[in-house]
């Protein structure tokens, strides 16, 4: 298929149903999504609602606040800092990500997040979290990013290497544990004209997790243990459903054109830039098809 990389797009498109954007997580693979989202901002694409999971939420919030280029900028600048994400931080604090540094110092001081723009945006923003006590996903709307930052943090708090986040009366962890790609949940919420950005290439099949580790580590939360044990099955079923909806023309999917080889805790700024650029290229290559589908 020939890439279509030119032309600007108006956001005032007549659509059936609410326009939704679903963003898969995946650790540092999420910088691919940041590239896709920056192209969307270049093309003036807007959505009624955005739902992100883990890294998808991290990058999706900058899309809602209209801060093009912010994700790749601060990932490259601070990615090598052990407080950003690393095993040294895990040994020091018990968490692979330093809460104060990542969720306060960077967005509030070092690379300011536009809280006002987010709060005034007409785009509804949701994060997916996993309820550790029920073993079920929670789809939580953030209306004030600064005061509800713990919901964002919960969505990206990886199991085994993060403390549980207690927010809204729940014990929460990474949303990918229970619903990695919440397409069906978003469609049920009324977002029936939905674009999905994946961070796995076509043909990827998720393998089972270490059941023994889950049973030991989260032994006091049996429903969450069961969710971790069956995570691969749900993920693979979701991908199959996404492919069905895509063939039916009900959703539009942008996925990596080939496997992302970036590490889950990648620090190399060159590798980060390469992954980001792939996201941009893939989005630009799909733009003509996306707009034909968008305008139906």
Residue 266 confidence class, pLDDT cut points 50, 70, 90: confident
Distance between CA 264 and CA 211 in Å, rounded? 21
If you average pLDDT over residues 165-190, what whole number do you get?
Answer: 97
**Angle between helix 70-78 and helix 55-64 axes, rounded to 10 deg:** 130
Residue 296 confidence class, pLDDT cut points 50, 70, 90: confident
pLDDT at position 116 is: 98
Q: pLDDT per residue over 22-55, tens digit each?
A: 999 999 999 999 999 999 999 999 999 999 999 9
Q: Shortest CA distance to 159 belongs to which of 132, 196, 133, 134? A: 132
Residue 16 confidence class, pLDDT cut points 50, 70, 90: low
Q: What percent of the chain has pLDDT over 90?
A: 85
Residue 171 confidence class, pLDDT cut points 50, 70, 90: very high
Q: What is the mean pLDDT of the chain?
A: 92
pLDDT at position 4 is: 44
Contacts 24+ apart (CB under 8 A), 95-99: 95/157, 95/161, 95/162, 95/163, 96/158, 96/161, 96/162, 96/265, 97/156, 97/157, 97/162, 99/153
pLDDT at position 80 is: 87
pLDDT at position 32 is: 98
Distance between CA 157 and CA 167 in Å, rounded? 13
Distance between CA 51 and CA 22 in Å, rounded? 5
Residue 161 confidence class, pLDDT cut points 50, 70, 90: very high
Residue 83 confidence class, pLDDT cut points 50, 70, 90: confident
Residue 272 confidence class, pLDDT cut points 50, 70, 90: very high
Give the C-alpha distances (Å, rounded to integers) separating 136 from 55, 152, 179, 288. Answer: 19, 17, 8, 37
If you average pLDDT over residues 164-185, what whole number do you get?
Answer: 97
Distance between CA 181 and CA 255 in Å, rounded? 12
pTM of the model: 0.93
- Parallel, antiparallel, or unpaired for β 165-167 and 136-142? unpaired
Lowest mean pLDDT among 81-85, 184-188, 211-215: 81-85
């Amino acid at each position: 298929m020939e890439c279509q990389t030119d032309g600007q797009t108006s956001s005032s498109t007549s659509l059936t149903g609410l326009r939704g954007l679903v963003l898969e997580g995946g650790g540092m693979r999420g910088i691919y999504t940041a590239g896709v989202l920056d192209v969307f901002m270049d093309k003036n694409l807007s959505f009624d609602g955005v739902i992100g999971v883990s890294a998808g939420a991290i990058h999706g919030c900058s899309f809602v606040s209209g801060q093009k280029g912010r994700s790749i900028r601060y990932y490259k600048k601070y990615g090598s800092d052990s407080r950003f994400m690393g095993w040294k931080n895990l040994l020091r604090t018990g968490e692979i990500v330093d809460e104060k540094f990542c969720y306060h110092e960077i967005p509030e001081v070092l690379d300011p997040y536009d809280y006002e723009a987010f709060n005034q945006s007409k785009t509804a923003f949701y994060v997916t979290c996993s309820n550790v006590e029920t073993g079920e996903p929670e789809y939580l709307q953030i209306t004030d990013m600064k005061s509800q930052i713990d919901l964002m943090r919960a969505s990206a708090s990886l199991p085994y290497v993060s403390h549980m986040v207690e927010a809204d009366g729940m014990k929460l962890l990474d949303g990918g544990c229970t619903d990695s790609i919440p397409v069906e949940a978003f469609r049920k919420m009324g977002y029936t004209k939905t674009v999905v950005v994946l961070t796995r290439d076509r043909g990827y099949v998720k393998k089972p997790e270490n059941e023994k580790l889950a049973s030991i580590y989260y032994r006091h939360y049996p429903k969450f243990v069961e969710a971790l044990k069956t995570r691969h099955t749900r993920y693979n079923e979701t991908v199959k459903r996404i492919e069905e909806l895509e063939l039916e023309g009900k959703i539009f999917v942008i996925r990596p054109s080939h496997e992302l080889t970036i590490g889950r805790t990648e620090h190399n700024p060159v590798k980060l830039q390469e992954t980001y650029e792939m996201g941009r290229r893939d989005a630009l290559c799909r733009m003509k098809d996306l707009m034909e589908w968008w305008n139906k």
